[in-house]
Amino acid sequence: MSLDIVVVGSLNIDMVVNINKLPKWGETLLGNDFFISHGGKGGNQAYAASKLGASVAMIGRVGDDLFADQLLNGLKEAGVNTSSVGRTPEAATGVALINVNDEGENNIIVAPGANSYVTPKYVREHEDVIREAKIVMVQLEIPLETVLEVARIAKKYDVPLILDPAPARILPNELYEMVTYIVPNETELSEITGLPITDARSARMASVDLLGKGVHTVFSKLGGKGVVVTSANRTFTIDGYNVSAVDTTAAGDAFAGALATAIVSGQDLWSAAQFANAVGALTVTKPGAQRSMPDMDEAQQFIKRFSQQ
């Protein structure tokens, strides 16, 4: 099996409510629209890359329930190989409860469920899949010891690793030494480095800290302020897009999936970052997670439209 991308990570059903403000403890508020969407950072990134034309396989776990069927069918429809996604009767499929305000900002509570059963042992059972990849993607919605095992396997076969450090936490230096590309947003970058991130300059400073720990390249996602790309040889900033945000839920995942797709297609870091930045911006203009992600034609039309302004 020849693969562009293998994604090891979470699969969730997203339950989304549009609200005007966040409730306080003990307070009940009336929301607006409600919808269910397919999500999980792993599933989102696999979906994004596959919809953009990459050949993608997913390694993860779901429960033995109706949500599992919905998630797997959605990934298959996008072209993702799900043969390495297992079912576990011991836990329900992961669920994310998402509140989105009028500005498109969100907060998210995740009940990981079956995602907690993506163990190092389970990953080792699918080592052959990782070995065949051109790039491996992993996030932090599965156990940290599993993330480390994925990184070790990728290193064993010289497969580049993209780490999305979300939900953010302090990470061991051993992991950083095995990371090729890391894609934090400004909150995550601050959390994992302990440094305040307020602008491109502070993002570059924090990125240098990660380079010192062994990371090859840092893509600091600053939302509307763009992306700062930092490696040992160069650093550059790509401006953000001026778009009206409807829902930012999956923008980071769309960015990561687009970045991986561009890299495996042979694009350099500048071009790959520009493409990922555009895909992330386009994604926030639509509601939902996977359903908001563009295909290649939509992405290219978006880029062309803004280049003519």
Q: What are phi and psi of 169, to 5 degrees?
A: -155, 165
Q: Note the pLDDT tens digit of each residue in 9-24.
A: 999 998 989 888 878 8
pLDDT score recorded for residue 249: 67
As a whole number of angstroms, the distance between CA 32 and CA 40 comes to: 23
* Alpha helices (H) along the chain: 41-51, 66-77, 120-124, 127-131, 144-156, 173-176, 186-193, 200-212, 251-264, 269-283, 296-307
Q: Note the pLDDT tens digit of each residue in 197-236.
A: 999 999 999 999 999 999 999 999 988 888 999 999 889 9
Which active-site residues does the annotation give?
253
Task: Give pTM, 2 decimals.
Answer: 0.91
Which domains, from first to last, does the chain contain?
Answer: 5-21+31-307 (3.40.1190.20)
Cα separations in angstroms, 206 against 21, 98, 220: 32, 29, 9
Helix axes 66-77, 41-51, angle to 10 degrees: 30
pLDDT score recorded for residue 57: 98
Cα separations in angstroms, 178 against 41, 104, 232, 292: 20, 34, 16, 32
User: Are the C-beta atoms of residues 191 and 175 closer than 8 Å to each other?
Assistant: no
Query: Quick one: average pLDDT of 281-301?
Result: 79
Q: Note the pLDDT tens digit of each residue in 29-73.
A: 888 888 888 889 999 999 999 999 999 999 999 999 989 999 999
